[in-house]
Structure 1
Amino acid sequence: MSGKVLWGVIFGLVVLNCFTLAYFTKTKDVYTPTTSEESIATVGEESITKQEWLDILEERYGKEILTELINKEVVMQLAEEHQIKVSEEDIEREFAVYQAMNNSKGEGQLDVDEIHEQIRYSILLEELLTKDVSVSEQELKEFYEMNKDSYSIEDSYHLAHIVVETKEAANHIIKELENGSSFDVLALEKSTDEFTAHSGGDIGFVSEKNDFIPKAYIDSAHELSSGEWSKPIRVDTGYAILFLHKKQEGKSYSYGEVKSQIRRQIALEQMQGNVTVEPLWNEVGVKWIYGD
């Protein structure tokens, strides 16, 4: 498996876990101590109690949520025991590559801090699972040379757009923007792109390698500063106005910067990519209500 493919698999797991973690974070508020018979909704004359709601949540999601909470605690305890730490530089690098490779929509449904913490968690897990795997320096360097493209990202731009049918309509939107109207609101109200209108026209981080966007978008993005919008751009379905949220500078990472990640990649490949916490449970002695 190539470095690029395996890195994509690992980041895919990060994304999945990010959404799970966000769900758990929000779920914590559900269990605020209250009277179990408290009504949380009424339908006509009938009430739905908080206890009824909690019972269904536990039945449907209880084991899954508890498993993930245990997994996180297992990883944190073992990382401390083995003195494994993750630097902020490692987190920022993997986050930058994740955005560039996955057309990430900025913060999206998750706070950036939450994503960073999940990346930290994922790296700690990988380090724990591979801590006893030996990889030679020669193998590490050969892997880096063969997969250099995987450790290089080009300039990318977090863009939003509003698409309308005519240039006149596009110019009218620009006037509204100049008068202080919100780009997000105008996208929701005016954009004919139904896939992005509801999210303020957000199309995520894009670069020259992205085939799904017009080349004119990148050409225009080169000229914009964060918080600026473009002139009308001719597209297949009419005219578009771009908005630049943020520019992310491209970078090529040196062997020394990614050496530890390469070691994890090779080790995980040898383990057939089985990135799960359960094999570590016995090391800390987990007992739970779903156990034997």
Structure 2
Amino acid sequence: MKKQHYLIVIACLVVFNIATIAYFQLRSDDQGESVASIGNEKISRQEWLNEMEARHGESVLKDLVDQKVIKQIAKKYKITVTDKEVERELLFVKTSSYVENLEENEEKLKEQIKLNLLLEEILTKDVAISNKELKNYYDDNQKQFYIPNSFQLAQIIVHTKKEAEQTIEELEQGSSFEVLAMEKSIDSLSASQGGNIGFVSEEEERVTPEVLMKIKKLSPGKWTGPHKTDEGYTIFLLKEKISEKKYSYSEVKNQIRRQLALEQMGAKLNADVFWNEAKVEWFYGNKEN
């Protein structure tokens, strides 16, 4: 069962789709507008749009079509998913994989999760799995349905303690942690994300137990003092805290049914097989399912 891989794929796809779909929504009537200049030469908005459409147009349109196909077929067969199911999957995604700009993209991520759950339900609606098999799977894989105490963190790493203390002074005076991370942090990867390093749990080793104990005592939006690390001195900001959760068999029974049914069918998780049923016609011609 590659549930974690599946969740990571959702997260990656959602970031791409948010970026590309948002881009195409920027089209305006003024297609001659300049978007860049190089000396005396200009790049028009139309040139830019044409290039983006050539590179990403088909995949973005397919994503939009798939969304509507899933909703239409789900309505046809009266298939729904609950908000609790969506929230549970969201927690697993957030705590098991890195999602860029999570705060801005969370609603889009929830919508993508809901669509994926609907598609799973549609694909497996006629597959029966015995209660014994479902319970055995739960008993053998309980860790899969457990979320440890998890903390969404951002960090600023500087060379010296003096730099760290100066940074904390700026934070206390109201400076943005994200901006300071981009300006000061020597860890280029996290600095480019405003210091964000995603969620850290008690079961990981990215943060020492001593530092984690101090993070646990923080309220979201607060930061630690400087901590000496191999790289220099690190300041951690707590962005969000998720308490330990262990899901009961009854809570995840349907999730297990879908997982086992998809494995049994060997089905790929895509909406293509329903395009004919939904009578899809599109710009790129007939689609082979």
TM-score by length of 1: 0.89
Q: 1:189 to 1:21 in 2, by over 3 A?
A: closer
**1:106–1:204 CA contact under 8 A, matched in 2:** no
Corresponding residue of 1:175: 169
**2:21–2:60 CA contact under 8 A, matched in 1:** no
Q: Displacement, 1:265? A: 0.6
Superposed CA offset, 1:49-81 (max 9, x none): 444444333332222222111111110100111
Q: 1:175 to 1:12 in 2, by over 3 A?
A: closer
* Whole-angstrom CA distance in 2 between matches of 1:209 and 1:106: 24
Q: Displacement, 1:200? A: 2.2
Corresponding residue of 2:17: 21
Instruction: Find out whether 1:9 has 2:5 as its counterpart.
Output: yes
Instruction: Find out whether 1:215 has 2:209 as its counterpart.
Output: yes
Q: 1:105 to 1:47 in 2, by over 3 A?
A: closer
Q: Displacement, 1:104? A: 4.2
Superposed CA offset, 1:15-49 (max 9, x none): 133123303431342433x2555555555555544
Supply the RMSD in Å over aligned alpha carbons.
2.2
Q: 1:31 to 1:164 in 2, by over 3 A?
A: closer
Supply the AA of the counterpart residue of 1:237. E
Supply the AA of the counterpart residue of 1:8. Q
* Identity across matched positions, percent: 38
Corresponding residue of 1:59: 54
Gap runs ≥5 in structure 1: none
Q: Displacement, 1:279? A: 0.9
Corresponding residue of 2:27: 31
* Whole-angstrom CA distance in 1 between matches of 2:5 and 2:267: 9
The correspondence of residues 139-154 of structure 1 with structure 2, limited to 5 A, is 139-154=133-148
Corresponding residue of 1:96: 91
* Whole-angstrom CA distance in 1 between matches of 2:79 and 2:112: 16
**1:226–1:245 CA contact under 8 A, matched in 2:** yes
Give the one of 107, 111, 118 matched to 2:102: 107
* Whole-angstrom CA distance in 2 between matches of 1:213 and 1:50: 46
Instruction: Find out whether 1:246 has 2:246 as its counterpart.
Output: no
Corresponding residue of 1:85: 80
* Whole-angstrom CA distance in 2 between matches of 1:40 and 1:222: 46
Gap runs ≥5 in structure 2: none
SS in 1 for 2:157: strand
Corresponding residue of 1:155: 149
Q: Displacement, 1:165? A: 2.2
Instruction: Find out whether 1:231 has 2:214 as its counterpart.
Output: no
Q: 1:206 to 1:65 in 2, by over 3 A?
A: same
* Whole-angstrom CA distance in 1 between matches of 2:14 and 2:164: 37
TM-score by length of 2: 0.90
Instruction: Find out whether 1:204 has 2:205 as its counterpart.
Output: no
